[in-house]
């Protein structure tokens, strides 16, 4: 299987290890692929079987999802795995939290696209994961390697379309 993963640290790095028996490439700024500019590199990866849309940068994750959905929506041999977040279900506080808004919009876009897609679409919503984004917070966190193994198992199960990971 040929897999493209956005990101190169945290969950993305763990996914690369989890899928080491496959042809995996990491796509991030450090590898010359800014997710904010998917139009400049996306066509180079349309031959991949799976896209794991993992990297977060505000609205860019939705742009990556839209790009690959547009190209693959009629192809039942392709799969898009979107890494969302459990924050979509957190109680809405009175303060503005852009990360939560971005992940809610990502969830909505995924759900809307999934309803018409012939390609496989799977969304995974992990709780806090021990990555650079939340490493400094004193809260229980999932291990990125565990998240990666759960994503791998969900991708192997054709009946799984959504996976929420809780502590």
Question: What predicted TM-score, i.e. pTM, was given to this entire model?
Answer: 0.94
Strand, helix or coil for residue 44: helix
Q: Which domain does 92 fall in, by range?
A: 2-165
In 23-159, where does DSSP find H-type helix? 38-41, 60-72, 98-114, 144-156
pLDDT tens column, 81-121: 999 998 766 666 667 778 888 999 999 999 999 999 999 99
What order do you get walking across the sheet with 50-53 strand by strand?
Answer: 23-27, 2-6, 50-53, 79-83, 120-126, 162-165
Structure tokens at 129: 């994961």
Nearest-angstrom CA–CA distance, 153 and 91: 29
In the chain, how many domains are there? 1
- What CATH number should be reported for the domain holding residue 155? 3.40.50.720
pLDDT tens column, 48-92: 999 999 999 999 999 999 999 999 999 999 999 999 998 766 666
CB-CB neighbours of 133 under 10 Å: 14
In 115-162, where does DSSP find H-type helix? 144-156
């Amino acid at each position: 299987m040929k897999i493209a993963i956005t990101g190169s640290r945290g969950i993305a790095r763990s996914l690369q290890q989890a899928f080491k028996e496959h042809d995996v490439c990491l796509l991030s700024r450090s590898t010359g692929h800014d997710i904010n500019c998917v139009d400049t590199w996306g066509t180079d990866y349309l031959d991949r079987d799976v896209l794991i849309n993992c990297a977060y940068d505000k609205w860019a994750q939705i742009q990556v999802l839209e790009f690959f959905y547009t190209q693959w929506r009629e192809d039942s041999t392709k799969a898009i795995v979107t890494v969302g977040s459990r924050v979509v279900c957190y109680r809405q506080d009175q303060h503005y939290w852009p990360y939560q808004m971005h992940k809610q919009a990502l969830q909505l876009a995924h759900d809307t696209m999934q309803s018409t897609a012939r390609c496989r679409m799977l969304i995974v919503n992990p709780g806090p994961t021990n990555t650079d984004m939340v490493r400094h917070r004193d809260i229980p966190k999932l291990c990125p390697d565990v998240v990666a193994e759960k994503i791998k198992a969900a991708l192997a199960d054709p009946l799984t379309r959504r996976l929420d990971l809780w502590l």
